[in-house]
Amino acid sequence: MNNLHSWDVLALSCIDGRFIKRTIDWISERADGTFDFRTEVGSSKVILDSEIDKERFFNIIETSLKLHSIKEVWLIDHIDCGAYGGSKEHKNKDAEKQFHIEQLNKAAAIVKEKFPKLVVKKIYVDWDKIEVIE
């Protein structure tokens, strides 16, 4: 039997309450029900825009590695994120999604550089669907 305190995923999501239950349900279905979960204002934004918040998240990754032997970090951005100014900052939904894909790509590269052995997944939460960005 596997160590009960070992699982694969640490997820980073925004604090926005409109998306939390759906996001957690979605992760749970795909991560065998157990995972580490961190919320930050703007999710990818803390990795890109704040050295202090980035280091704090890196400390959480280190802890998840040490205590739970995680293998993957899932970075989860969402539509209409207030930390990024919301949907009104973009000319349409596609432009908004593209913006988040770029942010997630940059954030994922930073995490990957620091933790090369971890798989980093990028995920975008829309109003009606959640998708993994390839």
**What is the contact surface with Zn ion in residues (CB under 5 A)?**
14, 16, 81, 83
CB of 122 to Zn ion, least distance (A): 15
**Helix or strand holding residue 9 (H, E):** strand 9-14
Distance CA 83, CA 86 (A): 7
CB of 65 to Zn ion, least distance (A): 26
Residue 34: other Cβ atoms inside 10 A: 13
Please give the angle made by the CA atoms of 19, 7 and 69, to the nearest 5 degrees: 120
Q: How far is CA 73 from the centre of its chain?
A: 7
CB of 21 to Zn ion, least distance (A): 15
Identity of the residue, 65 or 101, whose beta carbon is nearer to Zn ion in the bound complex:
101
